[in-house]
Structure 1
Amino acid sequence: MFYLRLVRGYRVLDLGRWLLTATAAAVVAAFLLRALGRALSDPPGAHATLERLLWCLPPLLAIGWFTAIAARALPTQRPERMAGLTAAGAGPRWIRLLIAGELALACALGAVATLLLFLVLRNNIAGPSLAPELGMGVPLPPAAPVALLALLPLAGGLAAAAAVRPGERLPGGEEPDRARHFGPVRTSAAVLLTIGGILTELYALRPAAAYDPRTLGLPADLGHTNAALLGGWAVATLGLALLTGPLLAGTGWLLALGRPSPRRLLAGRGLTGAARELSAPLAMLAFTVAVVLTSVRHWVAPGAEGTGLLPAAEALLTTGCMVGAVLARLAELRALRRPGSTALLRLGASPRLLFGAAMLRWAAAGSVVLATGALTAVLGAGMLT
């Protein structure tokens, strides 16, 4: 009943976050139940069950990532709700559990909706093409779907609870550390990882290595590669992900360099201040889009075998979760920036100036994401050639 009362006060942003979480959980539940149905239909001794379950791991992790970002943004977006809960006697730890429970409930409802559809289709409604996917004609162990679908609210709730720490962002807690600078050690390590990964892949792509054996099979019909190519791409991708934050901060510093105009100054200082908060969601988005585009390029290449529906659906779901995480973080930063924007408007700044600064700030951030994502995609295409 408590969560039903919260729903009565939902705004469009709250409802969109809740529906996106429930929809993503419903799709992942369909993947899990399909793996269960195929396991029931396969003859004894088949070894593809574990592989099908592993295919469900990337979208499950994507849901966990999205729920973590959404839970971390909720106290900033709805301060009146947090203040009301505090006035009712809820402390920081209890509020964190309530946020985690709200997102876990959304995951659970999406999973239950898919389970009901799965049971209805198993009741001699699905056609012959779907019969192997549902395990029709084979008794369904009651504990199996419950155990699989319990992973969804568990993953969503744990990720949300771990994202909002009791000591920050909640009423009665300490103010979070908003250090805006990246240490030289992290930046140097990110640069070294990126350069080392690129050099390793270039060495593996040298003309003399054209006939090196590629013994590592890649999933989703992406062909074969070798350890040097795969390791170089993985190391360079990790370096680019760690380098996203310093690049955002450095771009903001360049915008405010010299004697900038008010628009450039606001955009540069805003981007530098938001670099730490934006680095992880934007890095994950750039990585996901780069991997998806590289895979699609390989699938549609002449002579390629293509792929099935499952990888394409998982790519779409994972990309949607990453985009949702970025939007949640942007909404959080907008809520944090609202007092400063209100003060500037009271001092006489025009709304056009603030809008122009915002456009310049996001154009600069988009350039950084485009650069890191494009380099990740190029290195991935080199690995698959």
Structure 2
Amino acid sequence: MLALRLSRGSHPLVLLRRLLLAAASAGVGFLLLCTLSYAVTGPHPADPAAQRLAWCLAPLAATVQLAVAVARTDPGTRPRQGLSAVGLGPVRMSALAAASTAVSAVLGSAVALLFFLHLRGDLSGTPFDGDAAELLAAGEPLPLGAVLLLLALVPVLGAGAAALAFRPPRRRTGEPPGDEPEHSTEAPTGLPWGVALTAVGVAVEAYTARGTEGTGGTPGGVLAGWTLTAVGLAMAGPGIVHLCGRVLQSVRPGAMRLLAGRALMDDARRIGRPLGVVCAVVSAVIAASALAGERPQPFGPLTALGAMLVAACTTATLLTSAVEARQDRAATRAGLLELGAPAALLQATALLRAVVLLAVFAPLTWAVAELAALPLRH
């Protein structure tokens, strides 16, 4: 009940982010139901249903990532002083974040079910009733347990991930609450592993694409390679952002470079991971454009819907993480303004951070895409 009351009284931008999560949940639920309808029509040796289900994992993972980002920027679930005294400690706040995420995701899953039944023709008297009856296997009954299980994936996984994101950190022996810093400027340790995973993923993508050149199928090896690439870039992203901040502060920096570099180091873990995932998605889009030029009609409508969901969710996650970083820097920004720092300096600092990240990640994205698409041009 508390989660519903907080949802009703939230700021319009907060409600917009929750609606985006509901829309993403609806898209993933619809894709999963379409895969189920394809599976019940019989065995498909050329295009197994399990392979189609595997292609739904990328939109599912992107939606869960968006759910965590939305929960972290929700004012109703952010930890504040004095809440423990009224019974809203870290555990209760974690449960509240999970409940709020589940409400939005369940709403999206319900919309997906209604839209799916509508296109199958099971709901009569509505526009476009049964227009996709043949595609969605209208003549075949769907197992109720499988439908409920698939529709529950986003709410359960999203709520669980949101609860884990709000889990209080473990304290060392003898360390009272408040000793640990909110942000750490230590260099993330995942950069070497991220580079290695990215290289392996690009190699797998290139090898698989070369092995299926001239065919119309979309092999599971391409998905496996892209997944490794995305995980590698997500692991390497924080280290790259941290390194950008350190380089920006080197060689006799001024006030603007000092502020921009320190902010990048503080936010390396927060924005580095979603930035790395966006880099992987954009590189996949560039490589897919090369694939589309080599093969006639390589992608169907459901594949395009899944790609749109991944692109939209990852972009929304990055923007939401940037909003979270801005919220956490609000006190620092107010303090600098009180000390007499001009507002133009702070705006120029934010612009410098964006330019540096774009200058680093844009060539990286292009390089990964070119390496992945290189076998398709031969």
Q: TM-score, normalised by structure 1?
A: 0.81
Distance of 1:289 and 1:11 partners within structure 2? 31
Deviations 1:13-61 (A, max 9, x none): 3112210110001111111222223334x2x444533233222221111
Aligned with 2:238 (options 242, 245, 265): 245
1:217-272 per-residue CA deviation (whole Å, 9 max, x = no partner) reads 8998458989xxx97x8877665544332332222222222332322222122222
- Following superposition, the deviation at residue 320 of structure 1 comes to 0.9
- Residue in structure 1 matched with residue 67 of structure 2 by the alignment: 67
Tell me how far 1:383 sits from its aligned partner: 4.2
Q: Distance in 2 between matches of 1:319 and 1:149?
A: 21
Contact 1:73 1:331 in 2 (8 A): yes
Give the SS at the match of 1:257. coil
Distance 1:46 1:213, change over 3 A: closer
Q: Is the counterpart of residue 182 in structure 1 residue 187 in structure 2?
A: yes
Q: Which amino acid aligns with 2:37?
A: G
After superposition, the C-alpha distances for 1:108-153 in whole angstroms (9 at most, x for unaligned) are: 1111122123334323565675112333233344333222211121
Distance 1:376 1:213 in 2: 15
Task: Compute the displacement of 1:65 (Å).
Answer: 1.3
Query: Structure 1 residues 150, 218: closer, same or farther in 2, change over 3 A?
Result: farther
- 1:153 corresponds in structure 2 to 155
Match of 2:312 in 1: 320
Residues 1:114 and 2:116 aligned together: no
**Which digits, 9 at most, give the CA deviation of each residue in 1:330-353, with x for residues without a partner?**
111111111111111111111111
Counterpart for residue 173 of structure 2: none
Alignment of 1:220-239 (within 5 A): 221=217
Does the 8 A contact of 2:71 with 2:162 survive in 1?
yes
Report the Cα distance in structure 2 between the residues aligned to 1:65 and 1:351, rounded to whole angstroms: 33
The answer for the alignment partner of 1:5 in structure 2 is: 5
Q: Distance in 1 between matches of 2:161 and 2:90?
A: 17
Q: Secondary structure at the match of 1:131?
A: coil
Amino acid at match of 2:87: G
How far apart in 2 are the matches of 1:336 and 1:305?
Answer: 46
8 Å CA contact 2:230, 2:281 repeated in 1: no
Residue in 1 that maps onto 2:352:
360
What is aligned with 1:371?
A: 363
Cα 1:221–1:187 shift into 2, 3 Å: same
Cα 1:85/1:381, change in 2 over 3 Å: same
Contact 2:77 2:93 in 1 (8 A): no
Partners of 1:140 and 1:22 in 2: how far apart? 24
Q: Equivalent pairs: percent with the same residue?
A: 33
The alignment yields a C-alpha RMSD, in angstroms, of: 3.4
Q: Do the aligned partners of residues 196 and 109 (structure 1) sit closer, same or farther apart at CA in structure 2, a change above 3 Å counting?
A: closer
Aligned-partner SS, 1:355: helix
- Give the match for residue 264 of structure 2: 271
Counterpart code for 2:86: A
Q: What residue is the counterpart of 1:86 in the other structure?
A: 84
Q: 1:131 aligns with which of 105, 130, 133?
A: 133
Kept in 1: contact 2:231–2:277 (CA 8 A): no
Aligned length, in residue pairs = 363
Q: What displacement does 1:11 show?
A: 0.9
Letter in 2 for 1:131: A
Deviating more after overlay: 252-261 vs 217-226:
217-226
User: Does the 8 Å contact 1:59/1:318 carry over to 2?
Assistant: yes
Which one of the candidate residues 293, 318, 329 is aligned to 1:337? 329
Residue 323 (structure 1) shift: 1.0
Please tell me whether the aligned partners of residues 25 and 105 of structure 2 are also in contact (alpha carbons under 8 angstroms). yes
Q: Give, in angstroms, the shift of residue 173 of structure 1.
A: 7.4
Task: Please give the per-residue CA displacement for 1:142-173, whole angstroms capped at 9, x wherever unaligned.
Answer: 333222211121111111112222238xxx77
- Point out where structure 1 has 5 or more consecutive residues left out of the alignment: 206-211
Partner Cα distance (2:366, 2:51) in 1 = 30
Structure 2 unmatched ranges of 5 or more: 171-176
Deviates more, 1:97-106 or 1:124-133: 124-133
